[in-house]
């Protein structure tokens, strides 16, 4: 059976890189699309400024490459202002689904959503896909807008699935993320050989659902091939289904590093205390629709994150 033609948008990002690799490992032909094509990078690549591309330009680009599957891993969260988040997480998705709807052949869209679309949840309550979303931050609100564009297009006939991702971790995690920041700082302290180093972070009171980025990639590949009648127009949670204390993960990273680093939690300068945060996805639907469940333990994710820095 021939492999599929797959276009991965946002292919140089943390999630996009691993997703493209997973499709290639499955035998598919992958076109990696990003704002600029890195010189000398392996694989098929194309440069396209997604935030600036019109619906017509997106449709023409897709028509030229004739994909069977489009994965939208483009978006922004770290160090981005509200305008940029709205451009990529919201407005771009609206133009993308309009462009896909113009194509004369069927294409499966896999849209990457975020657990932050749900908003705060009571402690001990797993997040199910039918939960009414109430995001409080700009990122969650703009990602939810993107999800709604996709679901609206699916009701009009577009073949589309939203994979709502928990907190992805593992090799290549952005240094702006909590675990990515910890990995970078531990690497710096190892280089300095500081026998009395400190790792200063904001209070680590949250319990969050973390999932290995490679497990996320496997779920996206599964979503690309899921039965249309069962999966199209659905939101599917992808996480580990566990609310893990963030402090435990940071302590484990310090232990794995082998460094005598002291962790110091600092309150905000104004004395305000962040409320404890609970986040746990219900991943039963991913098992039923995608035959997927996470395979990698978080210890493996943390080890590989440290090794990749």
- Determine the Cα–Cα distance for residues 160 and 308; give it in Å rounded to an integer: 33
Identify the three-state secondary structure at position 14: helix
Average pLDDT, the chain: 94
Residue 301 pLDDT grade (very low, low, confident, very high; cuts 50, 70, 90): very high
Residue 179: predicted pLDDT:
98
- Concatenated DSSP letters of 112-169: EEEGGGS----TT--B-TTSPP---SHHHHHHHHHHHHHHHHHHTT-EEEEEEE-EEE
Q: For residues 227-250, give the mean pLDDT.
A: 98
* Cα–Cα distance list, 127 to 88, 113, 134, 169, 211 (Å): 25, 14, 12, 19, 15
pLDDT tens sequence across 6-24: 999 999 999 999 999 999 9
pLDDT 10s digits, 54-79: 999 999 999 999 999 999 999 888 77
Domains of the chain (ranges plus CATH)? Answer: 5-170+210-241+280-296 (3.40.50.720)
In this prediction, residue 272 carries a pLDDT of 54
Q: Name the band, by pLDDT with cuts 50, 70 and 90, for residue 36.
A: confident
pLDDT at 39 over 90: no
Query: What span, in angstroms and rounded, lies between the C-alpha atoms of 264 and 89?
Result: 35
Return d(Cα 277, Cα 125) in angstroms, integer.
12
| Predicted TM-score (pTM) above 0.85 | yes
Whole-number pLDDT of residue 196: 66
Q: Which residues are paired to 263 by β-bridges?
A: 199
Is 139 designated active site? yes
Of the candidates 127, 102, 98, 99, which has an alpha carbon nearest to the alpha carbon of residue 113?
127
CB-CB neighbours of 26 under 10 Å: 17
Which of 61, 92, 118, 139 is the catalytic position? Answer: 139
Alpha-carbon distance of 70 to 165, in angstroms, equals: 17
pLDDT per position as a tens digit, 105-156: 999 999 999 999 999 999 999 999 999 999 999 999 999 999 999 999 999 9
Per-residue model confidence as pLDDT tens digits over 75-100: 888 778 899 999 999 999 999 999 99
- Strands, E assignment, the chain: 5-9, 29-34, 44-47, 69-72, 108-114, 159-165, 167-169, 198-201, 207-208, 210-212, 234-238, 244-245, 262-265
Length of the chain counted residue by residue? 309
Identify the pLDDT of residue 271.
54
Condensed to tens digits (0 to 9), the pLDDT of residues 212-223 reads 999 999 999 999
- Token pair, residue 18, equals 């691993």
- pLDDT, residue 79, reads 72
- Give the model's pLDDT for residue 192: 83
Cα–Cα distance for residue pair 30/67, rounded to 1 Å = 9
Contacts 24+ apart (CB under 8 A), 59-62: 59/98, 59/99, 59/100, 59/102, 59/103, 62/7, 62/99, 62/100, 62/103, 62/107
| Largest pairwise CA distance in the chain | 64
Are 110 and 220 within 8 A, CB to CB? yes
CA 3 to chain centroid, in Å, comes to 24
| Mean per-residue pLDDT, 189-201 | 83
């Amino acid at each position: 059976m021939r492999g599929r033609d797959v276009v991965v948008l946002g292919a140089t990002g943390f999630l996009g890189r691993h997703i493209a690799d997973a499709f290639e490992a499955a035998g598919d032909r992958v076109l990696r699309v990003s704002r600029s094509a890195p010189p000398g990078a392996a694989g098929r690549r194309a440069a396209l400024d997604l935030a600036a591309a019109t619906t017509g330009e997106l449709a023409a680009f897709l028509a030229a490459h004739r994909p069977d599957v489009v994965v939208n891993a483009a978006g922004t969260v770290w160090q981005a202002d509200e305008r940029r988040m709205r451009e990529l997480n919201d407005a771009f998705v609206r133009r993308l689904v309009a462009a896909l709807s113009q194509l004369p052949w069927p294409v499966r869209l896999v849209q990457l959503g975020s657990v932050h679309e749900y908003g705060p949840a009571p402690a001990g309550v797993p997040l199910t896909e039918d939960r009414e979303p109430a995001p409080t931050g700009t990122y969650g609100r703009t990602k939810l807008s993107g999800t709604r564009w996709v679901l609206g297009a699916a009701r009009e006939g577009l073949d589309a699935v939203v994979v709502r991702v928990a907190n992805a971790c593992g090799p290549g995690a952005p240094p702006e993320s909590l675990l990515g920041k910890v990995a970078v700082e531990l690497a710096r302290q190892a280089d300095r050989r500081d026998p009395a180093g400190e790792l200063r972070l904001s209070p680590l009171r949250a319990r969050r659902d973390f999932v290995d980025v490679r497990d996320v990639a496997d779920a996206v590949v599964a979503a690309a091939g899921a039965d249309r009648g069962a999966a199209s127009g659905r939101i599917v949670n992808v996480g580990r289904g566990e609310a893990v204390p963030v402090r435990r993960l940071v302590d484990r990273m310090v232990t794995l590093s082998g460094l005598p680093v002291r962790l110091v939690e600092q309150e905000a300068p104004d004395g305000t205390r962040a409320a404890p945060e609970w986040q746990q996805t219900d991943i039963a639907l991913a098992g039923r629709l995608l035959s997927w469940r996470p395979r990698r333990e978080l210890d493996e994710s943390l080890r590989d994150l440290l090794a990749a820095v």
